[in-house]
Amino acid sequence: MDTLHFDGFATSREWKRAARGIAVGAHLISEREGYTHHGIYAGDGRVIHYGGFHRLGKRRPVEYIALHRFAGQRGVTVCLESNAPYTGQAALERAKSRLGEDRYRLLTNNCEHFCTWCVSGVERSDQVRRCLTRPWIGLHTLVSIVRGMCMVLDAT
């Protein structure tokens, strides 16, 4: 898997410029503390992603979000999957077909499962596999997710 990386830009003008360099249907990854967030680029500076846990105990569905919000003040990596059977518009149509779906499950149906299904037809999450096979990584990831949810609660 080859990657292109866009740094966490400060201005909306820079985000718009970066968005022009991303192909529709691209699998995007944004680093978080302890885990990565995944989405499918929909064009026009928008991403389709599984919202996951927005607040403690409250799930978000598959939805559109602005690219700069998806990045969460971090960079975005474009995952170039050369053997993917679904690319471009086909991957985007697969993502659109699940808009509004509200069946998020951290271990079995998360944002990475969603994106790998959009581009490969197979749901998988390498980070879940790593967490389950390496308990310390799993614990660090879980603590990071809970910390992130608590920060959202503090901001409201």
Summarize pLDDT for 69-119 with one digit per residue, the tens.
898 878 889 988 888 999 999 999 999 999 999 998 888 999 999 999 999
CA 115 from centroid of its chain's CA atoms: 7
Mean pLDDT (whole number) for 51-77: 82
The pLDDT tens digits for 115-134 are 999 999 999 998 787 766 76
Burial class, 73, CB count within 10 angstroms (exposed 0-12 / middle 13-18 / buried 19+): exposed
Residues 15/34, Cβ–Cβ less than 8 Å = no
Domain total of the chain: 1
Domain around 43 = 2-155
The answer to whether the CB of 47 falls within 8 A of the CB of 98 is no
Distance, CA of 23 to CA of 78 (rounded, Å)? 9
Q: What is the CATH number of the domain that holds 82?
A: 3.90.1720.10
- For residue range 11-24, what is the model confidence (pLDDT) as tens digits? 667 777 888 889 99
